[in-house]
Amino acid sequence: MFELDMRSRKPIYEQLVDKMKELIMHEVLKPDEQLPSVRTLATQLTINPNTIQKAYRELEIQGFIYSIKGKGSFVSLNNQTKDIEKIASVMKELEKLILEALYLGIQAGEMIDLIHALDSGKKGGDSND
């Protein structure tokens, strides 16, 4: 379910948060679906349970999951993608990445083509009909 890059400079818990958010946003994980327990996931991924706990805590703070004491963690309803603060945060990060790409010599047209390709892929290729 998850592929983590142990050589990445990005912390493992952040990689896990990103993968879980991706699965939730693409509705691979459905609202109210129970997530694997911290121990189960730690065993499957062979990483420290504290790392899983930190990722789950961050997902809960961001509103992607909720916890029920004694029962576990569950996927929240999909209203978090409409969160204005989250959109602002993503846009700010995107701006930094675009500026870095431009600095490295990537042409604006290449980035626009990539955006169009990603957008058409997200919609299932409607524009290709």
pLDDT at 85: 65
Write down the pLDDT at residue 27. Answer: 81
Quick check: 70 and 83 in contact, CB under 8 A? Answer: no
Strand extents, DSSP E, 45-91: 65-68, 72-75
Nearest to 71 by CA among 43, 38, 48, 44: 38
Question: Among all chains, which residue has been given the structure tokens 């990537």?
Answer: 106
Q: What is the pLDDT of residues 7-62, one digit of tens each?
A: 889 999 999 999 998 888 778 888 899 999 999 999 999 999 999 999 999 999 98
CA-CA-CA-CA torsion sign (57, 63, 64, 68)? positive
Q: How confident is the model at residue 119 (pLDDT cuts 50, 70, 90)?
A: confident
On whether the CB atoms of residues 38 and 56 are closer than 8 A, the answer is: yes
pTM of the predicted structure, to 2 decimals: 0.63
Separation CA 57–CA 81 (nearest Å): 18
Q: Return the DSSP state at 125.
A: S
Q: Is the pLDDT of residue 123 over 80?
A: no
